[in-house]
Amino acid sequence: MNADRTLPWDWYAGKIPENVVIDEDAYLETSYSFLLYRSELPLGVRVGRGTSIYLGTMFDVGPKGKVSFGDYVLMNGARIICDSEVTMGDYCLISWNVVFMDTYRVPLTPEKRRRELELVPTRSLRVAMADVPAQPIQIASNVWIGFDACVLPGVSIGEGSVIGARSVVAEDVPPFTVAAGNPARVIRTLDPSEKEKYPK
C-alpha cells in the first residue's frame, strides 16, 4: 500500500479507509472492495499476514461493524455484510460468491418490513433497518467454504470443517465435519488427527 493508502496496482481510484489494517504481506486486489464500507470503529477491518482478497469481495460493513481475517486466508469475491462482527481464523479458503451476513438488515415480520420499505426513500442513506440485533459470525481456522454458500447471523463454523457449495448455514457447524444443503446439515465427519500433520 502506498503512503496515501492507495494500491499501486489498483484500477479503481479509491483509498483504503484509515481504520483498516492490512498486513504488509497480505494482498488486496482493489480498494473498490470498500465502496460500501462505513465502520466508525477505531479498527474496522484487520487482514492478517499472507491473506489474499481478490476482485469481487465487498466489505458492506455498518458503523459498528468489525471484520477480522487471520493469516493466509484466500477469499475470492465474497460479500461480507456486517453490523456486528465477522471473524475468521487462519488458513481459510472462501470460494466465489460466498455471503457472510451477521444481520438481516430488515425486520422479520411482513408488516414491519412494509413500513421500513416506506421509510427508505426518506433517509439520506436509502437503507432499511432491522428490528433484531446483529449476531456475530465466527469462522475457525482451516475452514473451506464452497461457492455461493451463505452464512447467516450468529453462526459458528468449527475448525477444519468444509461447507458444501450453495449451502445455507443457519446453525453452528461442529469442527472437522462436512456440512451441505439448505439448510446445511452435517453429512460426514473428518479425521481430526489430520491436524497433527500440519504445523501451526
Contact indicator for 96, 115 with CB cutoff of 8 Å: no
- Please give the pLDDT value at position 198: 60
- Please give the pLDDT value at position 187: 96
Query: What CATH number did the domain enclosing 100 receive?
Result: 2.160.10.10
- Please give the pLDDT value at position 126: 80
**Has residue 13 been placed in a domain?**
no
- Please give the pLDDT value at position 91: 97
- Please give the pLDDT value at position 188: 94
CA separation for the pair 93, 119 (Å, rounded):
39
Domain count across the chain: 1
**Has residue 161 been placed in a domain?**
yes
CA separation for the pair 80, 47 (Å, rounded):
13
Q: Domain limits at 78?
A: 20-105+133-197
Whole-number CA gyration radius for the chain:
17
Which residues of the chain have a pLDDT value below 50?
A: none
**Has residue 117 been placed in a domain?**
no
**Has residue 114 been placed in a domain?**
no
Looking at the chain, which runs of residues are DSSP E strands?
20-22, 27-28, 45-47, 52-53, 58-61, 66-69, 74-75, 79-82, 85-88, 93-94, 99-101, 137-139, 144-145, 150-151, 156-157, 162-163, 168-169, 177-181, 184-189
**Has residue 126 been placed in a domain?**
no
**Has residue 141 been placed in a domain?**
yes
**Has residue 7 been placed in a domain?**
no
**Has residue 149 been placed in a domain?**
yes
